[in-house]
Amino acid sequence: MTFSAQIEDLTTALRLTRSRLLAPLDQNQFQLPRDPEIFVEDVLLYVMDEWGNDLREQGHVLEEDTSWNDGISHYPRYVLRMAGGGMAQLHFTGMYPQDLFLSISKGFRNGNQFSDARQVQIEVPISMDPNVVLISLLESLRSVTV
């Protein structure tokens, strides 16, 4: 499976996730928390779990790489195993609360090394509204060229 096809499958699953409309935002949670773990747990992991559920329905497996531990950025990394046998990594980077990027990469030398062999990077807004994060991911992936 080509990297372009992998990106297209990710986008298709994300459209399904968006069409299900995530849980409504608690209007008391507009302010970003000081602790990045709260943002990661309440928003980012929630969005990725929902996206992972839709990917699973298409035969793909999105798993958080729990061996990854970056004490500086606090953002997670995922391994995506495509139904056709391909593999990619989804790696969140950035410094909370200033910025958040999602890099999707294919072609790694080893499990602890990030490769730019085939890579797409998109900027994601930091918001306590999961819908904002989800829409941003969808729009960014729809407009990406590989």
What is the mean pLDDT for each group of 10 consecutive residues in the chain (146 residues)? 88 82 61 90 93 94 87 86 90 92 79 68 93 92 86
Query: What pLDDT, on a 0 to 100 scale, did the predictor assign at position 68?
Result: 79
Rounded CA separation 45/22 (Å):
13
Under 8 Å between Cβ of 56 and 62: yes
pLDDT number for residue 21: 61
Backbone phi and psi for residue 105, each to the nearest 5 degrees, phi listed first: -130, 150
Whether this prediction's pTM lies above 0.85 is answered by no
Considering Cα of 91, then 105, then 136, then 64, what sign does the dihedral take? negative
Specify the residue for token string 């531990």: 69
Is residue 37 one of the residues assigned to a domain? Answer: yes
Q: Copy the structure tokens of residue 74.
A: 């606090």
Would you say residue 81 lies in a domain?
A: yes
How many domains, the chain?
1
Rounded distance between C-alpha atoms, residue 101 and residue 133, angstroms: 11
Structural domain boundaries, residue 116: 3-22+33-143
